[in-house]
Amino acid sequence: MTHSKVQVGSGAQQSDMPEDVFAAISKLAHDEAGLMIPASKHALVQSRISRRLRALGMTDFNAYLRLVHSDAGGGERRNMISALTTNVSAFFREGHHFETLSGMATSLIERARSGEKVRIWSAGCSSGQEPFSIAMTLLEADGRAGAHDIRILATDIDPAVLDVARKGFFDESQMAGVSHPLREQYFIASSGGRFGATDVLRRMISFRELNLLGHWPMKGRFHAIFCRNVVIYFDESTQAALWPRFRRALLDNGLLFVGHSERVPNPGAVGFRPAGVTTFTAVATTSEETPGGPARTHDT
């Protein structure tokens, strides 16, 4: 098979990505991060991996493939997954979830006042709009929510997008879902038309890199988990393995929020029951344990 040449800068030329390289990269992305990449995404994968080649000063896809498969290629494998990951986020996206959270906020804050640790997990937090929306929802219920032991764990597999989230700055287009009163209360306008999250928001959130397919180091359980528009990129077997893990990560009666295109099939079999639009409650068990281990309070 012959391949046409495309310019990659500085006079260097790069061949189109061979089918076998595409297949190998797709398999590695699946094995490392559960990403499901159909053959129809060949052009997209080629474009994104081409950027990595340019960054490394490489011109050959086969050489890149050898690198990411090598023992020394761990760092580049992370960069590859980052390049292949789709990051789309917005403030208060799927607003019915935040209405549900607002409805339970008073109870959560009362628990924190009584000395309980309240923990919420934003799994697949992308550039940070979701965890910041969670924090604003809790603070709108009680302006002193951040003074109690209420914390939001925000995780993502992509270290680049996590760096953006930690900085907490958003441009005008990204702020579209934030009302003017909330902007005034929780953001500080900066030069260049950007808005920075205030310290009261930042203090409630911990950002961590985490691969959902790997080990979850969190020791305790959560009152709510947001994992929205994430598992849609996984194949059915990977999704099926995640639902019981999420159940084990939730306290009894905790809530799991999933994306508008996602469902937990046969939720009763994995310890959930439907509780609203793309919302599931962790079914309480008759003992102090949920399937898979004892319930504990949480440190994040």
Sign of CA dihedral 162, 168, 173, 177: positive
In a domain, 90, yes or no: no
- Looking at residue 35, its pLDDT comes to 86
Which of 54, 84, 114 represents a domain boundary (last residue)? 84
Examine the pLDDT at 10 and tell me if it is beyond 60: no
Same domain? For 105 and 182 the reply is yes
Same domain? For 75 and 131 the reply is no
Same domain? For 33 and 158 the reply is no
In this predicted model, what pLDDT tens digit does every residue of 200-237 receive, in sequence order? 999 999 999 999 999 999 999 999 999 999 998 899 99
Which of 84, 117, 135 represents a domain boundary (last residue)? 84
User: What are the residue numbers of the active site?
Assistant: 48, 156
Same domain? For 127 and 219 the reply is yes
Same domain? For 67 and 164 the reply is no
Q: 265 lies in which domain range? A: 95-294
Same domain? For 130 and 161 the reply is yes
pTM exceeds cut of 0.75: yes
In this predicted model, what pLDDT tens digit does every residue of 156-168 receive, in sequence order? 999 999 999 999 9
In a domain, 51, yes or no: yes
Mean pLDDT over the full length of the chain: 89
